[in-house]
Chain A
Amino acid sequence: MNFQGYGAPAAVGYGSGFPGQQQQDPLYGYFAAVAGHDGQISAEELQTCLTQANFSGGYRPFNLETCRLMISMLDRDMSCSMGFNEFKELWAVLSGWKQHFMSIDRDMSGTVDSQEMNLAVSSMGYRLSPQTMSCIIKRFSSNGKISFDDYVACCVKLRSLTDLFSKRNQVQQGMAAFQYDDFIQCTMSI
């Protein structure tokens, strides 16, 4: 695969600081191009939007399942779609993860190995045991390699699961209680 190198989305100066009106936000153009009248985007539309905005830069565009995950991470009303404000929030989070991934993918191959992944996850602030880390890495790698898309999927899930856990009844320090029906529903909602 040829990578043209990393870059911010072509011709868009994200972070140029347009306060106020949505319409003047450079991101809004990409969003509006795919959102319908309801101002919400679905997983497919998110995929199109991120691809058109060249978010992945030299990396392969996101697969649909990862887009679905990203929507559910921010989907507070369980509508399975995302509005512009959530989209902006997502963009900011994704940009951070992308910087992170790029800093670790030194050879710009588009993938990182499990050791690098270990580093990436712990530098995001997660303090996890080697067993948990190897379970996570196994889940997201193919042939020992983790692509940018898998990496994003992993970050999204970690973040969603962590939020979920911290909201559950804290029965004692570091432990949460789950009732069965609730466990099934909240875990599957991610």
Chain B
Amino acid sequence: MAYHNQYRPPHFNNAPPDQSFLWNIFQRVDKDRSGAISDTELQQALSNGTWTPFNPVTVRSIISMFDRENKGGVSFNEFAGVWKYITDWQNIFRTYDRDNSGFIDKNELKQALTGFGYRLSDQFYNTLIEKFDRQKRSQVAFDDFIQCCIVLQRLTDVFRRYDTDQDGWIQVSYEQYLSMVFNVV
């Protein structure tokens, strides 16, 4: 169950990428040569397979995950993490996009999330797609898929913080509930 297994994208590649390989990429992406990759620069470097800009919310989530100094961008030492994170997601996406359409449809999403350990109703998948699908195709593109998984993971993390006896139940006050949710969704 996703709840009891701390979900992390599986490791597909045990060998860390070559530093000069990463440095080449970093330099190309850091167009203004500021020494840090900003949200905009990362957004421009990523593709979601739809010829539309990569979801800026997802870009923000990724940068803030790796930006240890809260400077609004990632430096070269932080970039290795970003690179690996995105590569892992690409591999996961390819794994679950079984018909190779470049999109994950409702069934493929079900398989992905069930595979990650979530137990969600069939009707809820409609809600997830409606909520995250920015292309309005009733399927999720790469960037929206990542965003969906990030939000689910954040909710899981916040739930876990309150479930001190780890039995899958929490008891919270109204204000605790509001704070939990407003920090995530």
Contact = CB atoms under 8 A, between A and B. Distances in A.
Interface string B148-178: 0001100110010001000011111111011
Contacts of A80: 126-127, 130
Contacts of B130: 68, 80
A183 B178 CA distance: 13
A131 B180 CA distance: 12
B22 interface: no
B168 A180 contact: yes
Contacts of A179: 168-169
Interface in B111-141: 118-121, 123-124, 126-128, 130-131, 136
A114 to B, nearest CB: 14
Contact of B120 (A68, A132, A185): A185
Contacts of A132: 175, 178-179
B86 to A, nearest CB: 24
A135 B156 CA distance: 19
Contacts of B123: 78
Contact of B131 (A68, A129, A139, A184): A68
Interface in A96-141: 128-129, 131-132, 135-136, 139
Contacts, number: 94
A162 interface: yes
B183 interface: yes
B89 interface: no
- In this complex, the member of A44, A136, A171, A187 whose beta carbon has the largest number of chain B beta carbons within 10 angstroms is A187
- In this complex, the member of B124, B171, B174 whose beta carbon has the largest number of chain A beta carbons within 10 angstroms is B174
Contacts of B121: 185
Contacts of B163: 180
A132 B181 CA distance: 11
A165 B177 contact: yes
Nearest to B168: A180
A107 to B, nearest CB: 27
Interface of A: 44, 68, 72, 78, 80, 128-129, 131-132, 135-136, 139, 157-158, 161-162, 165, 171, 174-181, 183-185, 187-190
Given A176-B174, A183-B170, A187-B181, 15 more contacts: A44-B136, A132-B179, A135-B182, A139-B183, A165-B174, A175-B172, A177-B170, A178-B169, A178-B170, A180-B156, A181-B120, A184-B118, A184-B120, A184-B152, A184-B159
